[in-house]
Structure 1
């Protein structure tokens, strides 16, 4: 089964408030990919939507894993990869599409890797009555890597140092972090020390059995107290003094298990302290044992979606679903991610629900 494409709108601010930054050539376009995804992709098909008044403004970016060329069902797998990526791309109603195959296999420039997949992409985009502005290959997205265009263009070059391009510099200046690869991004939500998690798991079991308070621990059962606890942790994160000792992790885990508290926590993802809330969800995803880690992981996924960070959202959802298979809230967030709902629309929905 082809995994869902990771998607990322480059900038969800109104068009009139966005600076106009020009990507001068294909090399700069490749250099922009990791800034848009949040990591350097490997063995990936990346599709970038174009739109705006000019029809050439970079928008939604999707990434899917490439099928291994030696796979016996490569042709069928390539068809599924292309169908998944193009279907997700069309949700954004683009004016055009740019396709980049990132792969270190093959012997370019004489024989670019994955020519069949590139042709399938071109055919699928043509069938959707959209212009394919560029169909490219790049061995990597780092500076100094080779790139080339598939036929009929056939031009080639070297990816510039991302630090020298205006587009990447502006994106990084906005605070977006570019990770070395997807595994580095996944490390953000990787579970903490197993011994620490086992200790906290024992305390959560005691809380469930009504024994924790007898040992001086804190159990949050009242929604109002749970919301107060969450807001205090967000305030600490905003002030740079967040500390997650055992008692606090257990108390927050029990609080987020309350429907009313989770609903308020969800609204904090779109509130004035959204970044601090995201820091809290990230830390709790690491520091909370399974299955309770699913709650902050799903909240982290929603925070990432509201920023347009599809890569982090998918990784957080994988963590949530791994911690608690069938988790209802994580499933709801996953459906929102796959539906391609714009961040501005989701933010408006959450904001409206507060009034």
Structure 2
């Protein structure tokens, strides 16, 4: 799900709405159903699911997730290059539109329109799914006000969701497999040991940000350290500090290097860091991967629920307070908090 607010956005212009989706989702959707909720006349939460044979069986769940943010209405966009000009497919889209209308109505949400588009790109063709006769072309996504805001905000936009997933994909499977044998479980640490591990993680973050490679010994030490709740929970505070970018680079590097099950903690730290700065797309794929590793992980489950329900980043940042309290107890000097501005959009 994604949340985005912009005074320059026009929900009653399908070509503009569709062009804004890459900036909100973080990537160009393909073979997708995208549901845009409307809150007090502005774009609210946005969720995307793959088009699949069993999609009709999922509309009740989609409506329940959309209702978590309590929107007034919704607009659906079906992205399907092969089916956009297929009469039989249009019958299926009408069936999907009817099912969505009914499920959303049960949640008190009015479905205002369902648009079918062949591609989310400049010149893409859209038409209404219910045969109303409305049709047109898609504006240039790169010229969308939301795209401009996202770029100014430092967010990268990906051409495909697969490119976004590569940010956390294991980069060297052979090295990662060999690393598993080098990781030694220490168990619960003394405060002095935990302090040294937190300081080692901060130093490693600066090293990664400088473009240096981490040794296997460092990777093994960090993997073990992240399994200690005191160390891990302290490090969550880095997401709201002035060196948050360095820390996020470290978590991404650990995602690509560490084997399971140690990888899951890096994935959740990356997800939290991305979430608090408003990068919902990266938070979403990181949590998806974390829950594949361990579907009982409490922090991953909590963040995923928050993301799915449209909880805004400023609320999630409050969790970092625990990290600062732990740092005080350990005697660790963390980077000072940084100021956050309003983000262009985030996927939840």
Q: Residue 157 of structure 1 aligns with which residue?
A: 136
Q: Residue 278 of structure 1 aligns with which residue?
A: 248
- Taking the aligned partners of 1:33 and 1:58, their CA distance within structure 2 comes to 11
Q: CA offsets per residue over residues 102-146 of structure 1, 9 Å max, x none?
A: 112335275635221112122233333334333211122122221
Shift of 1:191: 0.7
Q: Residue 44 of structure 2 aligns with which residue?
A: 59
Report how many residues are paired: 319
TM alignment of 1:207-226, pairs within 5 A: 207-208=184-185, 222-226=193-197
Gaps of 5+ in 2: 326-348
- Taking the aligned partners of 2:203 and 2:196, their CA distance within structure 1 comes to 11
Q: Does 1:97 align with 2:74?
A: yes
Q: Calculate the aligned-residue CA RMSD, in Å.
A: 2.7
Report the 3-state secondary structure (helix = DSSP H, G, I; strand = E; otherwise coil) of the residue aligned with 1:114. Answer: helix
Gaps of 5+ in 1: 1-6, 12-18, 69-73, 211-219
Q: Residue 37 of structure 2 aligns with which residue?
A: 49
Shift of 1:308: 4.1
Q: Does 1:20 align with 2:4?
A: no
Shift of 1:50: 2.0
1:107–1:261 distance in 2 versus 1, CA, 3 Å: closer
Q: Does 1:231 align with 2:202?
A: yes
Shift of 1:147: 0.9
TM alignment of 1:225-264, pairs within 5 A: 225-237=196-208, 240-264=210-234
- Taking the aligned partners of 2:296 and 2:146, their CA distance within structure 1 comes to 40
- Taking the aligned partners of 1:314 and 1:168, their CA distance within structure 2 comes to 19
Q: Residue 330 of structure 2 aligns with which residue?
A: none
Q: Residue 9 of structure 1 aligns with which residue?
A: 3
1:209–1:254 distance in 2 versus 1, CA, 3 Å: closer
- Taking the aligned partners of 1:94 and 1:352, their CA distance within structure 2 comes to 32
In 2, are the aligned partners of 1:270 and 1:351 still within 8 Å (CA)? no
Report the 3-state secondary structure (helix = DSSP H, G, I; strand = E; otherwise coil) of the residue aligned with 1:202. Answer: helix
Q: CA offsets per residue over residues 156-181 of structure 1, 9 Å max, x none?
A: 11212222333322222222222122
Q: Does 1:33 align with 2:4?
A: no
In 1, are the aligned partners of 2:22 and 2:141 still within 8 Å (CA)? no
Task: Determine which of 155, 170, 176 is the counterpart of 1:176.
Answer: 155
1:79–1:308 distance in 2 versus 1, CA, 3 Å: farther
TM-score (normalizing by structure 1): 0.80
In 2, are the aligned partners of 1:63 and 1:85 still within 8 Å (CA)? no
Q: Residue 78 of structure 1 aligns with which residue?
A: 56
Q: Does 1:139 align with 2:118?
A: yes
Query: Which aligned runs of 4 or more in structure 1 are off by greater than 6 angstroms?
Result: none
